[in-house]
Structure 1
Amino acid sequence: MTSVLITIGRGTGTPIKQQLYDQIRKKIIKGELAFGDKLPSSRELADELHISRNLIVEVYEQLVSEGYLETKAGSGTYVAKGAYLERSFDSDEYSVFGEHLVAEEDVIDFRSGIPALDMFPRKTWGFIARRVYRDAPPEVFGYRHPEGEFILRHTLSQYLSRTRGVKCHPDQLIITSGATQAFGLIARLLGSRNSEVVIEDPVTHEIQTIFSSAGFRFHPVPVDDYGMKTEHISAQNPAFIFVTPSHQFPLGGVLTIQRRIQLIHFARQTGCYIVEDDYDSEFRYHGTPVSCMQGLDPERVVYIGTFSKILSPALRLGYLILPPDLTKKCRDLKWFSDLHSSTFEQLVLAQFMKEGHLEKHISKMKKIYRKRREKLIDCLNKRFSNKVSIHGDSTGLHLVAEFKGITFSDETMRNIDAHRVKVYPVELHTIQKSAHSNKIILGYGNLGLEQIEEGIARLESVLKYSY
């Protein structure tokens, strides 16, 4: 009979039966109990551990049913053949996800696109959520419609009409699992027509990855302080045009009305669509938010929005507004993708909007983000004086800093990382390389004023040796 070292922790919160099962199973998989080893009888092990014999019997029976153990009449219980799994690492000591689960201590991360996570309106959201769960009819707990809940689509269409100049019927709206799913749906929806996409350069690397993995070739068009330089478009018959007209990512320009009209004329002439990503234009710190392109030509523009920047990425709620001739096919694609987005998150969001909480939250956050933006600009000017230029309209959750005489090479970035500060080169998002090697993206949405000041101080301690 093989000795089995089992330890039982009382008061740990894990049932004794579960502890016993886990330990024996793990020892078999790891080879500590090998094929043919005989286990103690249930009576012997119960006496040793001072627990009920019935628990031992139940665990042995479970392990026999799963193939880990086998019984021999009149002989006892043995480890079955083939239950050992050879491993190159110990799963208890190593996790492939470990580096993502624990945030690095004392690292100041200027990642863009992250809102103030500590400012999520938990109390109001939780109150509405409890009410929605309590009052929802039984059918809401079943499978729902791929395009999303009508109450959210109706509320959202009214909100976007009032705040962004969108023109649509609720039936043109499809609720998605964040903007990322919306991009994937667009790639499948428009991908059969042609493999070429007219796209801004630079543009977020995530977009490039989604579209290139779908088989698209890029026709990159450079941008300036007024968005995409439309005079550089030479594509003959693209699948679609991708733009961020209200706040170009990452350089921050606003597409002029002249260029918007030129894009619409081009789309009409070639029969393609314009895909408008309106990712963070709610947060404009001077004047009113810039109107969207979709309102100029709802038949030619596909509009994408998200609540990840307004509220939280964890909600995974975004939306598509489609020309009527594309809605049916896109609904089908959404159904094939995941049936539908989370019903209860949609219902909570709809009530959150209907009761006016969203606009109150945006108004509150605009004041906070404006202060953080001003603090960041002040710190950059204080630390780098005339060696830095700020790019980007006063919108959104990031800005771009251009440094004279600096190239953000791999070595420079390693030195910055070593000082426990994270910044992001614009070059990461370029298609045609080397035009923006002296620029970095600095997100400020999820950083406090003291963190911003300390982060720029750390950045200066690295870059001052590069001039």
Structure 2
Amino acid sequence: MLWIPIDRSLDIPLIRQIYQQIREQILNGNLQSGEKLPSTRELSSELKVSRNVILEAYDQLLAEGFLVSRIGSGTFVAKGTFLEQQKKTPSFHSLNLAEDKNKDDNIINFRSGIPALDLFPRKTWAKLSHTIWNDIAPSTFGYDIPEGRLELRQVLSRYLLKTRGVDCHPEQIVITSGATQALTLVSKLLLSPDDQVFIEDPITNDIQTIFKTSGSFLYPIPVDEYGMKTSLLPVNKNPKFVFITPSHQFPLGGTLPIQRRIQLINYSRKTNCYLVEDDYDSEFRYEGSPISSLQGLDPDRVLYIGSFSKILTPALRMGYLILPSQLIEKCRKLKWFSDLHTPSLDQLILARFIDEGYLERHIMKMKKVYKNRRNFLIHCLRTTFSNKVNIFGYSTGLHLIVELNESHFSKELLEWIEQFGVKVYPVEDHTIEKGKHHNRIILGYGHLKNEEIKEGVTRLYKAIYNFKYKD
């Protein structure tokens, strides 16, 4: 008789328990090919369950090919059902998942690029969502076009012209699942193995990885307090494109002046290459007026990337890529192969959110919040570290750069700092040519309240002070 333990306290139905255990015994060879199983009546009596339960379990095993039924003879294990068992991988419960690490409430995390998630305008978003879901035509629930909903592209073209000086037609816009997908599309659109890309150094490591995946070579162009040093662009090379963050260089924070922008445009015309402009958080500018886009100077040369991850929330996964006309059709095909299209209903909600003025009001509100947090962070740094600290790149965005002249942010020091309950990020992690920014860290503040900022700076100071004397 089959040994099938049953646990009636489990949420798993009895049919499923019996099915799974017989299936397992067949796969591991405990029940061998041609072996006869007990009749449904016998097994139901043995296990003290309804015969219908056994019948359904057997029927499932018959349907999947584990068993064969012979009229007048009974039910037997089918041929070819033994699977040699291999060592199982560790249980997922025993793994240290990255998600769990990021949820350590005792760590004050100065990660850059995270907005104030608790201030997302959820009531307004919910109201618009309710309206959209109730009003849209049934056809909207079907497959959509890869470049995105026309409603959103029309609204975006007007909004970007007004706020960023971007000169584009709705047909030039491709809606993406965030800036990461836009960067990936650019890579697939323009790059082949061994191509050259001129890129700011330092620049976020994620972008470096995306472009390297194509097999291209990254040629670093140093940056200073004004962004890319365009005078260092080599005249004897022909890159496929130059990648820049002109409105707020990441991570150092410089803003590219008009003279360097014109140099870039002239360079791209001379070498017949494109410029790829990543405008990732320039809406939050605290010193002077907003800076116009590079794209507005030469729309035929510049591919413009933007997203709503830092303006609203990364959870929205919504971004856009604006293309010169000659690249539109090829990019649409690449987008179709990538994911068919970005979620349609979210696009319609975002279009309404922008068109009715909610986005601009939200940005104005958040600029005040972030400026307050930026000022408080600067105050805490200068009060705590006195004249040992230099601060850069604070005019725009959600992070600033801290330079501590007497520190070297090695792996050992960073691990030591984390033991004090604070996490910071070295600029060196984002460099191509190493060794120039060893005493600089990136401090993101958009998602941190003032009390967290103060405590984080205090912990950072204690950690660095104790590290000097720990031996």
Q: Which residue of 1 aligns with 2:53?
A: 55
Q: CA deviation at 1:292?
A: 0.9
Q: Is the alpha carbon distance of 1:23 and 1:215 closer, same or farther for their aligned partners in structure 2, counting shifts above 3 Å?
A: same
Matched, 1:439 2:437: no
Aligned partners of 2:199 and 2:219 also within 8 Å: yes
Q: Which residue of 1 aligns with 2:149?
A: 149
When structure 1 is superposed on structure 2, of 208-217 and 31-40 the one drifting more is 31-40
Q: CA deviation at 1:72?
A: 6.8
Query: Residue by residue, what CA displacement relative to the aligned partner does 1:271-315 show, whole Å, maximum 9, x if unpaired?
Result: 111100000111112333211111111111110000111111122
Alpha-carbon distance in structure 2 between the residues aligned to 1:198 and 1:248: 15
> Percentage identity across aligned positions?
53
Q: Which residue of 2 aligns with 1:282?
A: 283
Alpha-carbon distance in structure 2 between the residues aligned to 1:86 and 1:77: 25
- Report the residue type matching 2:123 in the other structure: K
SS at match of 2:463: helix
SS at match of 2:303: strand
- Report the residue type matching 2:98 in the other structure: E
Alpha-carbon distance in structure 2 between the residues aligned to 1:128 and 1:33: 59
Q: Is the alpha carbon distance of 1:395 and 1:61 closer, same or farther for their aligned partners in structure 2, counting shifts above 3 Å?
A: same
Q: How does 1:231-310 map to 2 (within 5 A)?
A: 231-235=231-235, 236-310=237-311
Aligned partners of 1:254 and 1:393 also within 8 Å: no
Q: CA deviation at 1:180?
A: 0.8
Alpha-carbon distance in structure 2 between the residues aligned to 1:374 and 1:448: 12
- Report the residue type matching 1:100 in the other structure: E
Q: CA deviation at 1:264?
A: 0.7
Aligned partners of 2:192 and 2:216 also within 8 Å: no
Alpha-carbon distance in structure 1 between the residues aligned to 2:397 and 2:43: 64
Q: How does 1:343-358 map to 2 (within 5 A)?
A: 343-358=344-359
For normalisation by structure 1, the TM-score amounts to 0.91
- Report the residue type matching 2:126 in the other structure: G
SS at match of 1:455: helix
Alpha-carbon distance in structure 1 between the residues aligned to 2:52 and 2:130: 42
For normalisation by structure 2, the TM-score amounts to 0.90
Aligned partners of 2:192 and 2:215 also within 8 Å: no
Q: How does 1:410-425 map to 2 (within 5 A)?
A: 410-425=411-426
Q: Is the alpha carbon distance of 1:419 and 1:62 closer, same or farther for their aligned partners in structure 2, counting shifts above 3 Å?
A: farther
Q: Which residue of 1 aligns with 2:333?
A: 332
Alpha-carbon distance in structure 2 between the residues aligned to 1:90 and 1:35: 28
Q: CA deviation at 1:393?
A: 3.5
Q: Which residue of 2 aligns with 1:164?
A: 164
5+ residue gaps in structure 1? Answer: none
Please tell me the root mean square deviation across aligned C-alpha atoms, in Å: 2.6
Alpha-carbon distance in structure 2 between the residues aligned to 1:257 and 1:350: 32
Q: CA deviation at 1:255?
A: 0.5
Q: Is the alpha carbon distance of 1:100 and 1:160 closer, same or farther for their aligned partners in structure 2, counting shifts above 3 Å?
A: same
5+ residue gaps in structure 2? Answer: none
- Report the residue type matching 2:109 in the other structure: D
Q: Which residue of 2 aligns with 1:220?
A: 220
Q: CA deviation at 1:65?
A: 2.6
Query: Residue by residue, what CA displacement relative to the aligned partner does 1:65-119 show, whole Å, maximum 9, x if unpaired?
Result: 33455667645565983246423334464457x3325622412211111112222
- Report the residue type matching 2:113 in the other structure: G
Aligned partners of 1:384 and 1:460 also within 8 Å: yes
Q: Which residue of 2 aligns with 1:209?
A: 209
Q: Which residue of 2 aligns with 1:99?
A: 98
Q: CA deviation at 1:366?
A: 1.6
Alpha-carbon distance in structure 2 between the residues aligned to 1:92 and 1:22: 21
Aligned length: 463
Alpha-carbon distance in structure 1 between the residues aligned to 2:259 and 2:150: 36
Q: CA deviation at 1:21?
A: 4.8
Q: Is the alpha carbon distance of 1:450 and 1:270 closer, same or farther for their aligned partners in structure 2, counting shifts above 3 Å?
A: same
SS at match of 1:295: helix
